[in-house]
Amino acid sequence: MVKQTVGVIGATGYAGAELVRLLAQHPAVEIVKIGVRSTTTEDYLSQIYPGLSCKLPALTSLESSFSQCQYVFLALPHGISMGYVPRLLAEGCRVIDLGADFRFPNPSIYADTYEMEHQAPELLAQAVYGLPEYFREQIGQTDVVGNPGCYPTAILLGIKPLLDKDLIEKKGIIVDAKSGATGAGRGLSQDRLFTELNDNFRAYKVVGHRHGNEICFYAGKELEITFSPHLLPLQRGILATSYLTLSPGVGVEEVARAYQAAYSKEPFVQVHSQGVLPELRWVVGSNNCQIGYAYDPKIRRLIVVSVIDNLIKGAAGQAIQNFNIMAGLPETMGLPQLAPVV
């Protein structure tokens, strides 16, 4: 099999390291370059993550050329990737950004969400939002993919089929979502110390979380959503519970049909029958999203639960899924499809 030459920029964070771990086992990938920010003093990624003891290239500066790479993955904080993507494209690379810089087609939406001006607004029109279940054809044709955020991935997969069919009301949507601590990144912070997280559970940024804009934009409707994220005392995983109201005249059997139409052929999305609600352990370690729902007919309330591994389907795994599409490879290649049983 001919291997695609790949570079990774920003491999020292949790998502970047997970990306390297998965790419190193991908049968159609050769990692030829790993770029890191100047603050890193180690020569090899295995010095930071000893579990990544496979044969990998030495760490190099982000300023060096990546022209030997057919594809480059960026796993950097928002506001940084956009400074490198124009150069990477000029060097002939196709780019998959795990950060936020290429998720919106409009620079004004980016500026409103991330409170900074976009440095490469001319590239936003060609960038494609990397949610394969909805943008597969466009992903295959572009040179720039903006990988979705982890919360939006779980939430959009859970509610978008219902919105697309006008089965639920646009107002009064409440999304209560919980994430493992890796979703906050690897940077040092007092509120992520073990003694702050262990035996604890808290909400944060319940008003104005940046992922709220992303969810509303790609849900495809003018919505009123209350999005409340919470931090779990776990390493990884997202469980999102969406509280929805069925539109007048809509029955719960139409919900089942909408999910069937949307996901029956999707390799990484599984929808359970009514009343079966998925758990984090069913997906952690896999690239899957599992969805379940329950219905209270007294108040026409539909409760949708969707779960993902935030580092795989919510970040590195979805990025590789996008890469597979761009490279014309089987979409499931190199990606875990089963979670550990215990």
Residues tagged active-site: 150
CA–CA dist 327, 30 (Å, integer): 13
Measured N-to-C along each axis, helices 150-164 and 210-219 cross at an angle, to the nearest 10 degrees, of 30
Q: Is 27 exposed, middle or buried (0-12, 13-18, 19+ CB in 10 A)?
A: exposed
Q: What is the DSSP letter of 106?
A: -
CA distance linking residue 224 with residue 241, whole number of Å = 16
Q: Give the three-state DSSP class for 95.
A: strand
Helix/strand/coil percentages in the chain, nearest 5? 30, 20, 45
Is residue 144 within 8 A of residue 95, CB to CB? The reply is: yes
| Residue type, position 239, single letter | L
Contact 76, 185 (CB under 8 A): no
Do residues 139 and 145 touch, judged by C-beta distance below 8 A? yes
Helix (H) or strand (E) holding 302: strand 301-308
For the record, the structure tokens of 314 come out as 């919510």
Determine the length of the chain.
342
CA-wise closest residue to 8 among 82, 91, 93, 86: 93
Secondary structure (DSSP) of 146-178: EPPPHHHHHHHHHHHHHHHTT-B-SSSEEEEEE
- Please, are residues 52 and 20 in contact by the beta-carbon 8 Å criterion? yes
Q: Which residues pair with 4 in a beta bridge?
A: 29
Neighbour tally for 145: CB within 10 Å: 30
